[in-house]
Amino acid sequence: MRSKIVAGNWKMNNDANASKTLANELVAGLKDKSLQNTRVVVAPTFVNLTAVHEVVSGSVVEVAAQNMHQAKSGAFTGEISAEMLTSIGLKSVILGHSERREYFGETDALLAEKVTAALANGLEVIFCFGELLEDRKSENHFAVVESQISNALFSLDAGAWKQLVLAYEPVWAIGTGETATADQAQEMHAFIRKIVADKYDAALAEEVSILYGGSCKPGNAKEIFSKEDVDGGLIGGAALQAADFIAIIEAIQ
């Protein structure tokens, strides 16, 4: 059975103290909850990964990085490699976030390289994609999502998919307060599962967790998560408050 996952992408928020405080609040708030087949992941900034990892050690909370460089090492000032992430005990990395695509020029081709490097180092990849508002208005959203997934992921062999989590994040819903309706999310998630089944096979597609991201909040999480092909969420703003993030985790139980 595929896992349910609620992941918090902290983006460029929370200094060292705030990161540790939030991590401590999550550990305390989740301590007595029995989570059924549900993983909880947080993705702090690079400089706070180690501290947060220490705080959550022994708890249900896992830690992911928000990005990484595709090379093993070398003259890439300011960058972080997959090996550096695994060397501090991390098991997951987010790749392909729309903010990386939009503000840092990350292309499908570059993301394919990053995914390959992450998987080769044993990291799980939470791979993000999603259409712009104009794509949806022009009814191009399925084609855009299909090309993002196929360009970055469809050259992988079937075995690699065990290390992949997909995150559909319609760009028009990120940080805007505007959410895809539960039906829009379900429609896209079912489409994604179908293209993966067509490329690989139905059993593989059934095992892939597909998260929804984009203004997911305590008030709308339950309805979105109730949909058959929605296996959890990648949460931005609402992951910055422990109470909200925990309420979203409870919404998937």
**CA–CA separation, 72 and 216 (whole Å):** 35
Residue 38 or 98: which CB sits closer to ligand 13P?
98
Write out the binding residues for ligand 13P, residues 97-116 only, by CB under 6 A: 97
**CA–CA separation, 251 and 155 (whole Å):** 35
77's enclosing H/E stretch is none
**Is there binding between residue 235 and ligand 13P (CB under 6 A)?**
yes
**Is there binding between residue 9 and ligand 13P (CB under 6 A)?**
yes
**Amino acid letter, 19:** S
- We find the least distance from the C-beta atom of residue 128 to ligand 13P, in angstroms, to be 6
**DSSP state at residue 2:** P
Kindly provide the residue ranges of all beta strands, DSSP E only, lying in 11-81, ordered along the sequence.
Answer: 38-43, 61-65
CB 198 within 8 A of CB 125: no
Burial class (CB in 10 A: 0-12, 13-18, 19+), 243: exposed
**Is there binding between residue 130 and ligand 13P (CB under 6 A)?**
no
Whose CA is closest to 19, among 58, 40, 45? 45
- We find the least distance from the C-beta atom of residue 169 to ligand 13P, in angstroms, to be 5
User: Among 2, 20, 21, 237, which residue interacts with ligand 13P (rule: CB under 6 A)?
Assistant: 237
**CA–CA separation, 29 and 243 (whole Å):** 8
**Is there binding between residue 131 and ligand 13P (CB under 6 A)?**
no
- We find the least distance from the C-beta atom of residue 172 to ligand 13P, in angstroms, to be 10
**Amino acid letter, 71:** A
Is residue 69 annotated as part of the catalytic site, yes or no? no
Residue nearest to ligand 13P (CB): 236
Q: What angle do CA 235, 32, 213 make, to 5 degrees?
A: 10
Residue 9 or 70: which CB sits closer to ligand 13P?
9
- We find the least distance from the C-beta atom of residue 145 to ligand 13P, in angstroms, to be 16
Q: How many CB atoms lie within 10 A of CB 32?
A: 6
Q: Which of 62, 99, 124, 169 is catalytic?
A: 169
Is residue 97 annotated as part of the catalytic site, yes or no? yes
Q: Which of 97, 99, 124, 131 is catalytic?
A: 97
Write the CB contacts of 218 (distance below 8 Å, at least 6 apart in sequence): 238, 244, 247, 248, 251
Write out the binding residues for ligand 13P, residues 183-222 only, by CB under 6 A: 213-216
Tell me the site size for ligand 13P, rule CB under 6 A: 14
**Is there binding between residue 236 and ligand 13P (CB under 6 A)?**
yes
**Is there binding between residue 174 and ligand 13P (CB under 6 A)?**
yes
**Is there binding between residue 169 and ligand 13P (CB under 6 A)?**
yes
Q: Residues in the site for ligand 13P, rule: CB under 6 A?
A: 9, 97, 169, 174-175, 213-216, 234-238
Catalytic residue list: 97, 169
